[in-house]
Amino acid sequence: MYKNPIITLLSDFGLVDSYVAEMKAVILSINPSATLIDISHNIEPYNIRMGAYILARIVEYFPEKTIHLAVVDPGVGGPRKPIIVETLKALFVGPDNGLLMLAAEKLGVSHVYQIENRRYMLKEISKTFHGRDIFAPAAAYLSLGVPPKNFGKEVFDYVKPSYIKPKIFKNKIVGEIIHLDNFGNIITNITQKHLKTKNITYGKSFQIILGENKPLKVRFLESYFQALKGEIFALVGSGNFVEISENLGNAAKTLNVKTGTKITFIF
Amino acid sequence: MYKNPIITLLSDFGLVDSYVAEMKAVILSINPSATLIDISHNIEPYNIRMGAYILARIVEYFPEKTIHLAVVDPGVGGPRKPIIVETLKALFVGPDNGLLMLAAEKLGVSHVYQIENRRYMLKEISKTFHGRDIFAPAAAYLSLGVPPKNFGKEVFDYVKPSYIKPKIFKNKIVGEIIHLDNFGNIITNITQKHLKTKNITYGKSFQIILGENKPLKVRFLESYFQALKGEIFALVGSGNFVEISENLGNAAKTLNVKTGTKITFIF
Amino acid sequence: MYKNPIITLLSDFGLVDSYVAEMKAVILSINPSATLIDISHNIEPYNIRMGAYILARIVEYFPEKTIHLAVVDPGVGGPRKPIIVETLKALFVGPDNGLLMLAAEKLGVSHVYQIENRRYMLKEISKTFHGRDIFAPAAAYLSLGVPPKNFGKEVFDYVKPSYIKPKIFKNKIVGEIIHLDNFGNIITNITQKHLKTKNITYGKSFQIILGENKPLKVRFLESYFQALKGEIFALVGSGNFVEISENLGNAAKTLNVKTGTKITFIF
């Protein structure tokens, strides 16, 4: 049905084991013409929020009708439902634990269906690896044009993502660190819109308090290039969140912080 | 000859260097329509048994006529033969050191051929990288339909995998750890069949002795979900081996064990 | 225009974040039939020389008309130009900081063009991620057959790679370590040609001084196989540079050296 169906894969399976390849093998056995693109398989084990953040970053860049297969699934084998999420632009396949919904809500959720039709699963279903036995075949059959509603009944009480919004006060914003990237950029849940409400424009400075660190004055800059070598500063990252960065360094290491740490901006 | 030939790649080359990409470049230069799927390139350097275990897990999930290219090759440049293994379902290409045979025996070995025909190698052959110069071209020519027998003479004295079977006693089974996965699951060489002979069914408990740890009573459960948070328990993993797991934790770290460690189940 | 266009990707983005997938999504949105091959995304952050070395290794193995997209870009958002490098065999896309030129010079540089035509960029261009917003679309449009000169004006003062040549003395050669690979092989910038000028042929020995280590006598061998287990020796690696290796061990760990360390060969 699709001429060049793209199936993306995201998981916490890592790149040592064969788990990712087993999912790809299942997909290609059902639809040999699928194009498989890895998003990341280095999500921290069981870290649904990290998976949700990474998945939400990428969906706008993929072509229409892309199928996103995502598996961070600590509840595998338990009562959590396997689901398909239909949006106008893309389809999502994975566990009903919030992982898919941050991304899906960005695109606008049309329908959510439970995957229960055994016809679209592997014959033997393990209790520990639904990525291979249920989710991969579902993604492959979707890429062949099987309509989402054929997989099972519609679900209305799906799990919403536990996404924390920053708290806005008169002279400060209290947010948290949602991700530390490969360059040590500290990505917060605070956006440029939040800074605008506090009249922070490029070139201005404000104070940040990060975990146990003492308050630090940072400039708000437009690019890494504008910072001095080794300077710690704030900028808007490519995912539209405010990041704390160290020019040509690793801010996360220098400031010794972790995902989930509280961050306060004081104006 | 094949319409959508799949070539899988497994190695101990890691994902920092360009070695994997050099093999892929060689394959695509010979057969631009090959579909390349990575199994794992993070096999421990020189660890043939780990490579053999990972390769054996995946073969049943790939479509017929898949070509598996695997290179964990501490003997490169020495007398070990480069070989092609023909099975009913798939072809294997790699060094004759046991790496391919655990997987190939699962599918049923038909013939083993030595790769000696220079026509199907790169013009210049290094002494240190047969993955690029001999194995990758062989896989590519196989995917074009060149019959395995055209590569060289049949080999009958190929290296068998050094796979250790568990020892069964009246009240215990002595096995060993064959792999620690990304979640810290401790994968043993003991299977569900072994447990059945000792009347261990889901819900029952038994004792394990793992390396230097004191004996530990574990429940045999059907899924991660049935365990309490932090409980260490036994289950049958998706590769059909008995695994020792920690629910939402990392059993390998908690119990501080390594691949190759002896494990005893006491009933 | 190309039937099976290959686009390779090299970066310092790592394999945890979604940055690589965002570039691939942009490419496939513009040219769904591109074949995407990862070279390495584990270049050390900001390490242009390491990226240049890895890229230069692989170009000869890819088919003609391959497009190499490489992004190690500490100057993103600053005045450094985005460029396309045209050679007879391949095209390169990336920042004008030397990253592309070691590889491009191997193939023979025809023309270098600045990427400035907004038509071939994403609509919104971040200040921090030109890999996604400028370089990926450029590679995709090149793969559709857009001529390099359509992207912008020719550049003549492009940045040359800062590649260090070894110094040759009467009884010694002073070089440096350019890379440590996955097996701990210590790759130097000294080639077999240099050794020939000193009458070093296989089987002969010479002394090396590596960083703070005391002088070490090593044999010059043709393959790993010829060395004794644990022997530290010299050989010509698959990239044609002299490497210091430890048979079935990790020479880089044993000798505790880093990239950039001076190495002296004494004859």
And the tokens for A36? 């498989």
pLDDT tens track for C101-149: 999 999 999 999 999 999 999 999 998 999 999 999 999 999 999 999 9
Sign of CA dihedral B65, B66, B68, B69: positive
Decide: B151 and B114 in contact? Cβ < 8 Å: yes
Q: Is it the case that residue B228 has pLDDT exceeding 90?
A: yes
What pLDDT does B1 receive?
47
**A113/A148 Cα distance (integer angstroms):** 7
What pLDDT does C1 receive?
47
> Are β-strands A35-40 and C241-246 bridged in parallel, bridged antiparallel, or unpaired?
unpaired
Spell out which residues of chain B touch residue A16, defining contact as CB-CB under 8 Å.
40, 42-43, 181-182
- Bigger pLDDT: A211 vs C91: C91
Q: Is it the case that residue A21 has pLDDT exceeding 70?
A: yes
Q: Is it the case that residue A1 has pLDDT exceeding 50?
A: no
pLDDT tens track for B153-184: 999 999 987 677 899 999 999 999 999 999 99
Spell out which residues of chain A touch residue C29, defining contact as CB-CB under 8 Å.
61-63
**Of B4, B58, B184, which is closest to A25 when you measure between CB atoms?**
B58
- Bigger pLDDT: B259 vs A158: A158
In sequence order, which residues have a C-beta less than 8 Å from that of residue C35 and are 6 or more positions away?
B28, B32, C4, C5, C6, C7
- Reported as a pLDDT band with limits 50, 70 and 90, residue B95 is very high
Give the residue numbers in A contacting C (CB under 8 Å), as ranges. Answer: 3-4, 6, 8, 15, 35, 37-43, 54-55, 57-58, 61-63, 66, 179, 181-184, 222-226, 235-238, 248, 250
And the tokens for A82? 């396997």
Q: C22 and A235 in contact by Cβ < 8 A?
A: no
**A216/B93 Cα distance (integer angstroms):** 58
Buried b (16+ CB within 10 A) or exposed e, C22-57: bbbbbbbbbbeebbbbbbbbbbebbbbbbbbbbbbb
Q: Which position has the token pair 């997938």?
A: C21
Instruction: Work out the minimum CA distance from B163 to partner chain C, whole angstroms.
Output: 21
Spell out which residues of chain B touch residue C236, defining contact as CB-CB under 8 Å.
128
Decide: B203 and B262 in contact? Cβ < 8 Å: no
Q: B78 and C181 in contact by Cβ < 8 A?
A: no
- Reported as a pLDDT band with limits 50, 70 and 90, residue A121 is very high
C51-71: average pLDDT:
95
What is the separation of C-alpha C179 from the centre of its chain, rounded to a whole number of angstroms? Answer: 10
Indicate whether this model's pTM tops 0.80: yes
Mean pLDDT over all residues of chain B? 94
Distances (CA, A) of C209 to B253, C176, C202: 39, 11, 20
For residue B24, give the nearest of B175, B166, B135, B126 by alpha carbon: B135
B52-74: average pLDDT:
95
Out of A75-79, A171-175, B108-112, which region has the weakest mean confidence (pLDDT)?
A75-79
Residues in chain B, how many? 267
Name the superfamily (CATH) of residues C165-266.
Bacterial fluorinating enzyme like (2.40.30.90)
And the tokens for C101? 């030129």
> Are β-strands B216-219 and B205-210 bridged in parallel, bridged antiparallel, or unpaired?
antiparallel
Cα maximum dimension of chain C = 61
**Of B4, B15, B58, which is closest to A18 when you measure between CB atoms?**
B58
Q: C35 and B15 in contact by Cβ < 8 A?
A: no
C248-255: average pLDDT:
94
Buried b (16+ CB within 10 A) or exposed e, C230-254: ebbbbbbbbbebbbbbbbbbbbbee
Out of A133-147, C8-22, C236-250, which region has the weakest mean confidence (pLDDT)?
C236-250
Which amino acid is present at B130? H
pLDDT tens track for A28-76: 999 999 999 999 999 999 999 899 999 999 999 999 999 999 999 998 9
Give the residue numbers in B contacting A (CB under 8 Å), as ranges. Answer: 3-4, 6, 8, 15, 35, 37-43, 54-55, 57-58, 61-63, 66, 179, 181-184, 222-226, 235-238, 248, 250
And the tokens for B214? 């004191």
Decide: C16 and B16 in contact? Cβ < 8 Å: no
**Of A38, A39, A235, which is closest to C128 when you measure between CB atoms?**
A235
And the tokens for B119? 């026509």
Give the residue numbers in A contacting B (CB under 8 Å), as ranges. Answer: 12-19, 21-22, 24-26, 28-29, 32-33, 36, 45-46, 74-79, 126-129, 132-133
**Of B17, B28, B126, which is closest to C54 when you measure between CB atoms?**
B17
And the tokens for B39? 């199994």
Decide: B10 and B19 in contact? Cβ < 8 Å: no
Which residues belong to CATH 3.40.50.10790 in chain C? 6-151
Phi-psi region of A65 (alpha: psi -120 to 50; beta: other; left: phi over 0): left
Residue C246 β-bridge partners: C232
**B104/A132 Cα distance (integer angstroms):** 22
**A91/A212 Cα distance (integer angstroms):** 42
Query: CB B201: neighbour CB atoms within 10 A?
Result: 11
Give the residue numbers in C contacting B (CB under 8 Å), as ranges. Answer: 3-4, 6, 8, 15, 35, 37-43, 54-55, 57-58, 61-63, 66, 179, 181-184, 222-226, 235-238, 248, 250
**B264/A210 Cα distance (integer angstroms):** 48
Decide: B70 and B55 in contact? Cβ < 8 Å: yes
Out of A158-162, B45-49, B203-207, which region has the weakest mean confidence (pLDDT)?
A158-162
Residue A68 β-bridge partners: A8, A92
Chains with 3+ CB–CB pairs under 8 A to A are: B, C
Query: CB B169: neighbour CB atoms within 10 A?
Result: 12
In sequence order, which residues have a C-beta less than 8 Å from that of residue A118 and are 6 or more positions away?
none
Q: Is it the case that residue C98 has pLDDT exceeding 50?
A: yes
Q: Is it the case that residue A4 has pLDDT exceeding 80?
A: no
Q: Among all residues of chain C, which has the CA nearest to that of B20?
A: C39
Decide: A201 and A187 in contact? Cβ < 8 Å: no
Q: Is it the case that residue A2 has pLDDT exceeding 70?
A: no
**B154/C68 Cα distance (integer angstroms):** 41
Give the CB-side neighbour count of residue B200, counting CA atoms within 13 A. Answer: 26
For residue B69, give the nearest of B178, B18, B143, B4 by alpha carbon: B143
Residue A244 β-bridge partners: A186, A234
Which residue stretches of chain A are H helix? 19-30, 48-58, 101-107, 130, 136-143, 192-197, 251-255
φ and ψ of A70, to 5 deg? -130, 130
And the tokens for A32? 């040999």
Which residues belong to CATH 2.40.30.90 in chain A? 165-266
Specify the fold of A6-151: Rossmann fold (3.40.50)
**Of A29, A45, A132, which is closest to B62 when you measure between CB atoms?**
A29
Which amino acid is present at A244? I
What pLDDT does B77 receive?
86
Q: Is it the case that residue B3 has pLDDT exceeding 80?
A: no
Mean pLDDT over all residues of chain A? 94
**C144/C5 Cα distance (integer angstroms):** 8
B101-119: average pLDDT:
96
Decide: A172 and A267 in contact? Cβ < 8 Å: yes
Instruction: Work out the minimum CA distance from B104 to partner chain A, whole angstroms.
Output: 16
Structural element, H or E, at residue A70: strand A67-71
And the tokens for C87? 């050679």
φ and ψ of C151, to 5 deg? -85, -25
What pLDDT does C2 receive?
55
